[in-house]
Structures are given as C-alpha cells and as structure tokens.
Amino acid sequence: MKLQVKILDSRIGTTWPLPTHATAGSAGIDLRACIDEAIVLNPGDTVLVKTGMAIYIADPHYAGLILPRSGLGHKHGIVLGNLVGLIDSDYQGELMVSVWNRGTTAFTLAPGERMAQYVLVPVIQTQLEVVNDFEQTERGSGGFGHTGTA
C-alpha cells in the first residue's frame, strides 16, 4: 500500500536508501538513525532518535507500529523505551524512535544504522456501548492464569 512520506533530512533517499521491504515477504521497513554523530548508549540509557521522515497514513483504518529489530534486541539489548511505538493515522510529524539499551554493555548507534522497524497494521476503531449485563461466556471474568498451567 502506498503511503505519503516527507523527507525531512536530505540524507534519506541519497546517503541512505528510502526504506523498503527487504524481502518480498518482509512485514516491516527498517528505520535508520538520522543522527550526525554516533551515540553511545550505556546500559539503561534511552534516547529519542530522529528518522528523518514523516509518514502520513491518513486512513483511520490503519496505524503504524514501531517495533524492535530482533537481532539488536536479542544480541545487544537494544529495544524501545516505549516497548512499542504506536503511530496514529493522523500523525504528520517526524517518526521518532525511543531507543533503549536494556542490556548490560554499552552500544554505539551509528549514523544511518537501522535501529527499529515500522509495520502498517489494520485498525478497528471502537465506540463503547454501555450495557448492564453481557451474554454469559465459559470464561466469564476469569483471567490472569485462571485456566491453569498444564
């Protein structure tokens, strides 16, 4: 699906390619760190990093998710300060990535490094309708381990 993008940093699309799906079946497009100098993230550090782009989804039946890259997350502890970034369809500002070093060693984020990924997902908006009773289900209000561990 086509999405409108504004290039906010001229290195996007020149020095670094405009993000695309890496393979035919890739769910996400990688977001690069649009920074001038490397950033050292010590264990526990969180920094808000620019992507150099604004993507306007426009259609409220979709949202963007910013998710960690598995390699960075597993090997280096580089995940997201907000765990998952949710991008509203009406957001027109620069995509920002909260990069969190949850690991135990320092990590150096280089200019242009692919730090996270963006996935477009369908959304169903809800209107809450107040009722007094629900139709009874087998689960009812059981939760948080109610069905046991076996």
* 82 interacts with ligand DUT by CB under 6 A: yes
Cβ-based neighbours of 51, under 8 Å, separated by 6 or more: 12, 31, 32, 33, 34, 94, 95, 96, 97
* Residue 66 labelled as part of a binding site: no
CA angle 40, 43, 44 (to 5 degrees): 110
Helix ranges (H only) for the chain are 70-76
Kindly state whether residue 41 participates in binding ligand DUT, applying the rule CB under 6 A.
Answer: no
Q: Are 111 and 38 in contact (CB under 8 A)?
A: yes
Judged by CB under 6 A, the residue of 33, 66, 67, 99 near ligand DUT is: 66
Q: Is 139 annotated as a binding residue?
A: no
Q: Binding residue for ligand DUT (CB under 6 A) from 91, 114, 119, 123?
A: 91
Tell me the window of 27-35, 79-87, 107-115, 121-129 that interacts with ligand DUT (CB under 6 A). Answer: 79-87
CA 9, 55, 77, 99 dihedral sign is positive
38 touches ligand DUT (CB under 6 A): no
Closer to ligand DUT by CB, 42 or 88: give it: 88
What tokens does 80 get?
Answer: 């997201």
CB 87 within 8 A of CB 99: no
What residues from 7 to 26 belong to the interface with ligand DUT (CB under 6 A)?
none
> Which DSSP symbol is given to 12?
B
- Residue 96 in the binding site for ligand DUT (CB under 6 A): yes
Residues that bind ligand DUT (CB under 6 A): 66, 82, 85-88, 91, 95-96, 98
Binding-site annotation, residues: 69-71, 82, 86-88
